[in-house]
């Protein structure tokens, strides 16, 4: 197989999302786990792009009350939790893209 081969899907996303930008890692899904992965990768010094078709936080945004997430011993509403995720991503300058894959 030719080492220069690029799949059609990779070419599509390179043109659509990463024009004039070279990210080392793309994290698909901006729920709590995807955000945690993007944050940790950024801390390791990698250039990260976070992609989701919905708002940051995923389904956690719909939760009335989250009482089992580390760092919030008294619990937190889903909306507040997602706002915290958004602020953390902004603070670390992690690029987020709203799109569907």
How many CA atoms lie less than 13 Å away from 23 in the CB half-sphere?
22
Structure confidence by residue, pLDDT tens digits, 28-63: 999 999 999 999 999 999 999 999 999 999 999 999
Domain boundaries, the chain: 21-98
So what's the pLDDT on residue 42?
96
Q: Which CATH architecture has domain 21-98?
A: 3-Layer(bba) Sandwich (3.50)
Average pLDDT for 74-83: 96
C-alpha span between 83 and 47 (Å, rounded): 22
Q: What is the pTM of this model?
A: 0.76
């Amino acid at each position: 197989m030719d080492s220069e081969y690029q799949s059609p899907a990779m070419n599509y996303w390179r043109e659509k999302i990463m024009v004039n930008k070279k990210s080392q890692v793309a994290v698909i899904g901006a729920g709590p786990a995807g955000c945690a992965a993007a944050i940790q990768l950024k801390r390791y010094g990698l250039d990260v792009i976070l992609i989701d078709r919905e708002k940051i936080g995923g389904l956690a945004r719909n939760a009335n009350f989250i009482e089992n997430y580390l760092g919030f011993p008294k619990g937190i509403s889903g909306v507040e939790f997602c706002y915290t995720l958004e602020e953390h991503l902004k603070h670390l300058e992690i690029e987020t893209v709203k799109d569907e894959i």
